[in-house]
Amino acid sequence: PAERDLAGRHVVISAGGTREPLDPVRYLGNRSSGKQGYALARTAVARGARVTLVAANTGLSDPAGADVLTVGTAEQLREAVLKAAADADAVVMAAAVADFRPAHYAAGKIKKKDGEEPAPLELVRNPDILAELSAHRGRPGQLVVGFAAETDDVLVNGRAKLARKGCDLLVVNEVGDGKAFGTEENEAVVLGADGSETPVPYGPKEDLADRIWDLVGERLPESDAP
């Protein structure tokens, strides 16, 4: 990649997995480690960007040179990302965000009662942050990048997701069977709203991150920074 080609740019990255609390000891969560999002943050810093990393439940150490905001739930992640995106050149949503959260939070630990069937878990929908970012850009020309974690019909589902979310680029990676979640390596196809399709072969998550920044860099309007 061109050295420091993101100098003067502000990029916002979300990483990790949200946790939606049920009671003080339990939550609904997912298997994201945050490694892909942190690789995006490290490579963006290396290329000269100002980086805001919104991290959900990762347990990873802060990448040097990035501003790190830690969050727990999808609601908190939404607030932090939207605020940081106000003046961002690009936003990349690598976090695995829960689509649903428990409808009720129990202030005390939920107890099991002998002989009783467990109560069904009632869920409500979380806001779709990527769709919201795409519909309301923080500034003109802002690039919005999403990820798609798919287990089957990966490209067909990816194309449909790109159209539904309205983002500029969608990084489609296959998950399940030990793929992508928690690993050091990844492979993906980056779909563009312009119809482009960029396959990125299996390799370190940094390599995929660098390819994403290449594609973002090509699409960013000229910088108005001096």
Residues that bind ligand PMT in the complex, under the rule CB under 6 A: 32-36, 74, 93-97, 99, 126, 128-130, 146-149, 173, 175, 180-182
At closest approach, how far in Å is the CB of 33 from ligand PMT? 3
Q: Minimum CB separation from ligand PMT for residue 139, in Å?
A: 19
Q: Which of 91, 123, 106 is nearest to 15 (CA)?
A: 91
User: For residues 217 and 90, what is the distance between their CA atoms, to the nearest angstrom?
Assistant: 9
CA contacts within 13 A on the Cβ side of 191 = 21
CB of 148 to ligand PMT, least distance (A): 4
Q: Is 109 annotated as a binding residue?
A: yes
Helix (H) or strand (E) holding 218: helix 205-219
Instruction: Answer yes or no: is 129 a known binding residue.
Output: yes
For residues 1 and 182, which CB has a smaller minimum distance to ligand PMT in the complex?
Answer: 182
Side chain identity at residue 87, one-letter code: D
Shortest distance, position 56 Cβ to ligand PMT, whole Å? 10
Per the CB < 8 A criterion, the answer to whether 93 and 81 are in contact is yes
Report d(CA 126, CA 149) in Å as an integer: 17
Closer to ligand PMT by Cβ: residue 31 or 109: 31
On whether the CB atoms of residues 169 and 194 are closer than 8 A, the answer is: no
Considering the complex, state which of residue 8 and residue 83 has its C-beta at the smaller distance from ligand PMT.
83
Question: Which of these is catalytic: 30, 57, 126, 186?
Answer: 30
Q: Which is nearer to ligand PMT, 8 or 60 (CB)?
A: 60
Amino acid, single-letter form, for residue 48: G
Backbone φ and ψ for 166, nearest 5 degrees, come out as: 80, 20
| 126 labelled catalytic | no
* Residues taking part in catalysis: 30
Binding residues: 99, 109, 127-130, 147, 161, 165
